[in-house]
Amino acid sequence: MIIEKRLGFRHSITAIKELSGRRVAILDSSNSVRIFSTNPINIVDGFKTTLAQNNQFLHGADISDDGRYVAFCVKKEGVAVFDGTSKRLLYRFKRHEGDVESLCISRKHRYLATGGQDGRTFLWSLSTGRMVASLPHHSDFVTAIAFSPNGQWIATGSFDRRIMITNISSLSQGFRLIGHSKAITEMLFIGAHRLVAADKEGEIVVWDYFGARVIKRLKKMFDEVTALSVTPDDRFLFAADKTGVVSLYDLNSYELVALRYLQYLKPVKKLCYVLDGNHLVVGLADGEVTFNSPLKESRKMEEYIASNDLASAYRLAEENPLLRYSDEYLKLEALWNETFQKAMSLLELGKKDEAKKILEPFCVEASKRLLAQQLINDFTDFQKFKTAVERKKYQLAYSMAAKYPMLKQNRYYDMMEREWENLFSRAKKIVLQNGGEERAKELLKPFRGISGKSALIQALLNEKEIYRLFMKLVSKRDFKGAIDLAKRYPAIMELDEYKKIEKIADMIANRASGELEAGNYAEAARLASQLMEFPDMKERAKELLETANLYASAMRYFAQKNYAAIYRILEQHPELEETKIVQNLEEAWQKVVMRAEKAASLGDVAEMKRIFAPFASLSQKRRKMVSLLKQAYLVQIESALRDVNSAHAGIRRYLELFGMDDEMESWLVEHRMRDKFTDMEPKEEKDVDIGSLPEKIVPQR
């Protein structure tokens, strides 16, 4: 592995993140921020805070993708947020009981989430510095937080071994993932509604969070997983643990590619795969940072191939398995296939020593060595096989090919198979003619007694009426009838006509999927209905039809401006969030939320009610609206703190409206007033009538 740059800092690494503008940020436990360019790797910016060290936290620091906001957990003091450009302190948050254990900035840098030792997770607006929501509780420390790439979902993991997934847009939708045996340490959203989560025991689980089910438990690591990162295409997962090991997994097959892809002497604290330059940046507990270039070795591989040093090329791929997926490795494999065919041609001519010689450079790789040995062994009696084919002694030829599989890859075996296909095709036509059975039998005589062929011949000769019926059904395009018949008479499934039916079904399914992706829902539904005629494709057809009808319904409701109906569908089918209709709707809603958050930071309930008026009937957004209105009331109470009686009256009025909820309880704890107010059962947001809420909660004097 090429290490392009090695850096050394005095303190443990707490965050590494790729930033816009071809930059990468590195944060350490002294709460220092360093910004590096990626090509070349040079420091270009940074600053150091005066905050106390935070190396006791799993996720104690983060920076927004544009470098504008930098957040740190501070022991006993909550959270500090800095402006990454001016380097000045913007906000201090301390709402949790106990320390803040973890924090995370959303990819669209609108929100900061903080998870505490109290099991609570709070969502803060970075533009206003105000809390905007309290998320579902955990029963223990919140140890990890992650935002989805589209900013719609947030995952929180805890010492209670559970993961909560919450929809940020509505706060009304969520999933609970239960399946880890130890505390959650790392989480990462990836494509296709998947979440990768890891725990203190080294287990890594890939979840389908919409289905709340485990897709795959990956091969376990040696110790507590400390960092996760993926390649930009979500194909490969890098995972690190406390022993200093970095493992590599394929997220297409969910297989372990390399258990010890990298090995360090100190625990790995953070990983980040940086697209610009394809660097895997690794940060260690002792402050060392390495910029690894896993794909730069492909240049070296290309040089080895050009100089015919294939042994070195394969050794390189063995040391760095990621190279097996590079273009250069594909060239190496193409060269192997070409050489393999040449060796086969030489063996056909009896030139065994020459074949061995040209295969030798590839034999450094174990699988190639086995294939080369098998090829040499299987072609020992090639002349006997060739003679059998030429003299049409097919029983002998097929028995040899069964014993020596490599013989199936040469042209004489292909010649024999073409002869079979030609004769069987002719026999199928002859057998349907009057008196054609004997002629067909004679025609196929060279292939009688051969495994795999005899059953077809017998079916054709003994059940010609069944075959005649099958052909009739095919000509009428009665595919259901033809497939049902084939299930009763399995030999039919070997016929070319049956295989054509399967190809037609696949073609219709692919067309339906394409129309669905293109937004042509009516055409997708029509094709899915056609697919229902194929018994083996019924489940897929049903799924396509349901999806097409679902999308069409959403489209119709959008045209009617019946947004409540769209959100009702979305609650049952969250995968619809990827459709353009829902994305447009959510973009409009997010603009409303941003305006409301600003008004909430000013305590302007009247303005918020005006902003929310067009959405007041949307029950799916009620929790979000009520959550923001609560923040506005808390701002009003804060503004009245100089007058204790007014502030207390405002708090009592709040409790009458909403009960002792997370928002109020955490606010009272922050202001050391919790013991002054008794518990009141929090009210469900669905029971709150937004229209009847007062504009002012504090008595006016």
Alpha-carbon gap, residue 489 to 511, rounded angstroms: 30
**CA dihedral for 258, 263, 267, 272, sign (positive or negative):** negative
Q: Are 460 and 440 in contact (CB under 8 A)?
A: yes
Q: Does residue 464 fall inside a structural domain?
A: no
CB atoms within 10 A of CB 617: 10
Element (H, E) at 334: helix 327-348
Residues 82 and 207 in one domain: yes
> Mean pLDDT in the chain?
91
Q: Which of 360, 379, 413 lies at the terminal end of a domain, its last residue?
A: 413
Residues 224 and 83 in one domain: yes
Q: Which of 383, 413, 443 lies at the terminal end of a domain, its last residue?
A: 413
Instruction: Name the band, by pLDDT with cuts 50, 70 and 90, for residue 326.
Output: confident
pLDDT score for 134:
94
For residue 491, pLDDT over 70 is answered with no
Q: Are 674 and 668 in contact (CB under 8 A)?
A: yes
In the chain, what is the straight-line distance between the N-terminal and C-terminal CA atoms, in Å?
72
What average pLDDT does range 212-234 have in this prediction? 95
Report the percent of the chain where pLDDT is more than 90. 63
Biggest CA–CA distance in the chain, Å, is 112
Alpha-carbon gap, residue 375 to 364, rounded angstroms: 16
Q: Does residue 74 fall inside a structural domain?
A: yes
Q: Are 245 and 256 in contact (CB under 8 A)?
A: no
Backbone angles phi, psi at 335, to 5 degrees: -65, -40
pLDDT tens digits, one per residue of 158-211: 999 999 999 999 998 789 999 999 999 999 999 889 999 999 999 999 999 999
Alpha-carbon gap, residue 464 to 486, rounded angstroms: 13
Instruction: Name the band, by pLDDT with cuts 50, 70 and 90, for residue 2.
Output: confident
Count of H helices and E strands in the chain? 21, 28
**Of 147-156, 332-341, 570-579, where does mean pLDDT reach its minimum?**
570-579
**CA dihedral for 607, 610, 615, 617, sign (positive or negative):** positive
Q: Which long-range contacts (CB under 8 A, 24 or more apart) does 543-549 make?
A: 544/509, 544/512, 544/513, 544/516, 547/516, 548/512, 548/515, 548/516, 548/521, 548/522, 548/524, 549/521, 549/525
- Which ranges in 404-453 belong to alpha helices (H)? 411-430, 436-443
Helix, strand, or coil (residue 97): coil
Amino acid at 20: S
Q: Which two tokens stand for residue 267?
A: 């625990």
Q: Residue 39 carries which DSSP code?
A: T
Q: Are 268 and 226 in contact (CB under 8 A)?
A: yes
For residue 231, pLDDT over 90 is answered with yes
Residues 188 and 306 in one domain: no
What average pLDDT does range 584-588 have in this prediction? 89
Alpha-carbon gap, residue 133 to 518, rounded angstroms: 37
Q: Are 534 and 541 in contact (CB under 8 A)?
A: yes
pLDDT score for 324:
86
What average pLDDT does range 241-249 have in this prediction? 96
Residues 220 and 314 in one domain: no
For residue 298, pLDDT over 90 is answered with no
b/e code 362-383 from CB counts within 10 Å (16+ = b): bbebeebeebbeebbebbeebe
Residues 328 and 213 in one domain: no
- Using omega within 30 degrees of 0 as the cis cutoff, is the peptide bond preceding 614 cis? no
Q: What is the pTM of this model?
A: 0.81
Domain count, the chain: 3
- Please name every residue paired with 91 in a beta bridge, in sequence order, or none if there are none: 81
Q: Are 158 and 140 in contact (CB under 8 A)?
A: yes
* CATH code: domain of residue 96: 2.130.10.10
What average pLDDT does range 638-661 have in this prediction? 94
- Interacting residues of 342 by C-beta distance below 8 A, sequence separation 6+: 355, 358
Q: Which long-range contacts (CB under 8 A, 24 or more apart) does 538-542 make?
A: 540/509, 541/509, 541/512
Instruction: Name the band, by pLDDT with cuts 50, 70 and 90, for residue 602.
Output: very high
Amino acid at 481: G
Residues 46 and 167 in one domain: yes
Residue 358's region, left for phi above 0, alpha for psi from -120 to 50, else beta, is alpha
pLDDT score for 327:
87
pLDDT tens digits, one per residue of 520-548: 888 999 999 988 888 888 899 998 998 88
Residues 196 and 65 in one domain: yes
- Please name every residue paired with 78 in a beta bridge, in sequence order, or none if there are none: 74
What average pLDDT does range 279-296 have in this prediction? 94
- Using omega within 30 degrees of 0 as the cis cutoff, is the peptide bond preceding 136 cis? no
Q: Are 235 and 193 in contact (CB under 8 A)?
A: no
CB atoms within 10 A of CB 689: 10
Residues 215 and 308 in one domain: no
Alpha-carbon gap, residue 562 to 560, rounded angstroms: 5
Instruction: Name the band, by pLDDT with cuts 50, 70 and 90, for residue 701.
Output: low
Residues 322 and 403 in one domain: yes
Q: Which of 172, 195, 230 lies at the terminal end of a domain, its last residue?
A: 230
- Interacting residues of 542 by C-beta distance below 8 A, sequence separation 6+: 528, 532
Residues 175 and 322 in one domain: no
pLDDT tens digits, one per residue of 375-432: 999 999 999 999 999 999 999 999 999 999 999 999 999 999 999 989 988 887 787 6
Alpha-carbon gap, residue 229 to 237, rounded angstroms: 6
Residues 111 and 205 in one domain: yes
pLDDT tens digits, one per residue of 84-120: 999 999 999 889 999 999 999 998 768 999 999 999 9
Instruction: Name the band, by pLDDT with cuts 50, 70 and 90, for residue 53.
Output: confident
Cα atoms in the 13 Å half-sphere on the side-chain side of 236: 20
Amino acid at 414: D
Element (H, E) at 2: strand 2-8
Domain, as residue range, for 624: 580-692
